[in-house]
Every structure is written in C-alpha cells, then in structure tokens.
C-alpha cells in the first residue's frame, strides 16, 4: 500500500469505532447526504478538514448511492510555508484539491473591531460562492463533536443564550446551498490519535495575525480554549460530562424554559401559563 492507502485503511480499520462508525452515524442521524448531491469539502489544511476529506473519499467509494465531491482549499493569504504544507499533504494523501486565492487577511488587517468575526464571515462567503460556481449544492466543514459542545458552553457563558452548532444549515445568502458537518459525532481526541498514528503533520494556526498559537487540539488563550480546559477538568469528576452537554441540546425540556426565539420572534413561557 502507498501512503494514502495506509491512512485510508487506518480510518475504517484501526479507528473504525472512534472515527469511521461515528462519521457514518452522524451522516445517517442528521440525513446529511442524499443521492445526487455535489458536495464541496472545504479544506483549511488542519487535521479536522483533512480527515473529513479522506472520510468523504471512502464514503463515496463504498456508498450505495452516487454523489459527487469537489475538494476546495481557500487561501485567505497563508504564508508560503503553510500553503506548501497544504499542497504537499493533499498530494501525499491523494486528495485532488482545487485552490483559490483571496485577499481576506489583507482586508481583515485594516479592521480594528471584531476582525475574527469578519474573517470567518468572509471565508464562509467565498466558500459558498466558489462551491456554487462549481455546481455544488452543499459545502462540508470539518467541525467535530468537541466544537459542538464548546460552542454550546460559549453561547451560555459569553452570549447569554442557549445555542449550539447545528449539524446542517440552509444558507441564507446563497439560495439552494446547504452547509453540513459530517464529523459532528467524532471526538477531537480520536482525530488527534489518528494523526499521531499515521505520523501526519498538518498546519496548526494559519491565521497571519496569531501564528504563534499552540498546536492543534491544545486550546490556547481563546474563549474556546477556556471551554476546552473546563470540560477537561470536569471530566475528571464525571467522564460523561461531554456527552451530557452534547445530548442536552437534543433533549430540551420546553416545560422548564422561561423564553425562546423562533424565526427571530421572542416567546415567553407566560404565553401558555395558566
């Protein structure tokens, strides 16, 4: 077997339970892929998106229903080292990427307020546009289980609302386009183990303005890093706390909620209280 085949084999053999089965379960549970879809797998160059690309390749190869895939890499202004690492990894892993260039980092550099928000919004917009131009009806992102529960906690602690990262979303700005997250049930620890098992080296923090951040999977000084550290600490007392957070968003007890928003409209428990 060549290098790419070895990596593929590890996904559905060595990591069958922790990655491959979870990947398939997420797709089935949330009905993420249908026959005839053309999906743009969006690759940032990190461990998560590269694993997603390989999982999607395997799924396409063994699926009983046909669908198409494009592998998109958007360069927002990476330094040459990161750009080359992405290209080399894609070639080594036999992922036929399409790379398109943007000036996102240049634009964000001139913004003082919420540059990260603007960067994320612009990146998403470019991905949707290029995917749609290629005839895709969906984009697939590499967000995983830990991203979901960390987002849930961040929304409570810093956003004063209960909100999570959804497994799929309809685009509000690109008609007919949908975002899906096939790694929704795959834990980050499994992805890190897969990366180490195969001795893979991916780019870590590609942002031009924070390139001194820590290695993938170790948090950092961000709010997400705080949530990661908090969950890790809580798991020492309760090893199921991460699953409890995840399951809680699937099991909301509306009888004990004071208020909620639906389609932008606020509602109170008093509307139905007698």
Q: The pTM is what?
A: 0.91
- 58 domain-assigned: yes
The two beta strands, 38-42 and 68-75, are: parallel
The reply to whether 182 falls in a domain is yes
CATH number of the domain that residue 74 is part of: 3.40.50.620
| Residue 232 in domain | no
Phi, psi of 31 (to 5 degrees): 50, 60
- Residue 21 token pair: 């089965």
33 in any annotated domain: yes
Instruction: Tell me whether residue 238 is in a domain.
Output: no
What lies within 8 Å, CB to CB, of 127 at 6+ separation is 40, 42, 72, 74, 139
pLDDT tens string, the chain, 274 residues long: the values are: 899 999 999 999 999 999 999 999 999 999 999 999 999 999 999 999 999 999 999 999 998 889 999 999 999 888 899 999 999 999 999 999 999 998 888 888 777 676 777 888 888 899 999 999 999 999 999 999 999 999 999 999 999 999 999 999 999 999 999 999 999 999 999 999 999 999 999 987 666 655 444 334 344 458 899 999 999 999 999 999 999 999 999 999 999 999 999 999 999 999 999 8
Per the structure, how many domains does the chain have?
Answer: 1
Strands 68-75 and 168-170: unpaired
In a domain, 230, yes or no: no
> DSSP string covering 17-54, please?
IIIIHHHHHHHHHTT---TT-EEEEE--SSHHHHHHHH
Tell me, yes or no, whether 254 lies in a domain.
Answer: no
Quote the CA–CA distance of 224 and 214 in Å, as a whole number: 13
Domain holding 197, by residue range, is 3-211
């Amino acid at each position: 077997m060549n290098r790419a085949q070895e990596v593929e084999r590890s996904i559905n053999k060595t990591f069958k339970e922790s990655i491959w089965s979870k990947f398939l379960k997420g797709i089935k549970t949330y009905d993420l892929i249908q026959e005839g879809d053309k999906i743009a797998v969006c690759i940032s160059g990190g461990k998560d998106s590269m694993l997603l690309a390989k999982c999607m390749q395997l799924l396409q190869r063994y699926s009983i229903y046909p669908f198409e895939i494009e592998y998109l890499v958007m360069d927002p202004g990476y330094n040459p080292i990161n750009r080359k690492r992405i290209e080399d990894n894609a070639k080594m892993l036999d992922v036929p990427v399409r790379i398109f260039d943007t000036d996102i980092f240049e634009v964000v550099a001139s913004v003082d307020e919420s540059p990260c928000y603007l960067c994320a919004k612009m990146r998403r917009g470019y991905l949707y546009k290029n995917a749609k131009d290629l005839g895709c009806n969906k984009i697939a992102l590499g967000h995983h289980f830990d991203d979901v529960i960390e987002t849930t906690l961040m929304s409570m602690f810093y956003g004063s609302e209960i909100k999570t990262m959804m497994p799929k979303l309809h685009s509000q700005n690109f008609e007919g386009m949908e975002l899906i997250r096939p790694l929704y049930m795959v834990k980050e620890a499994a992805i890190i183990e897969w990366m180490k098992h195969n001795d893979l080296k991916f780019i870590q923090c590609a942002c031009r303005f924070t390139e001194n951040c820590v290695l993938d999977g170790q948090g950092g000084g961000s709010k997400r890093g705080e949530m990661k550290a908090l969950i890790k600490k809580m798991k020492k007392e309760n090893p199921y706390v991460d699953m409890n957070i995840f399951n809680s968003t699937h099991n909301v007890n509306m009888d004990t909620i004071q208020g909620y928003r639906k389609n932008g409209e606020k509602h109170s428990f008093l509307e139905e209280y007698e």
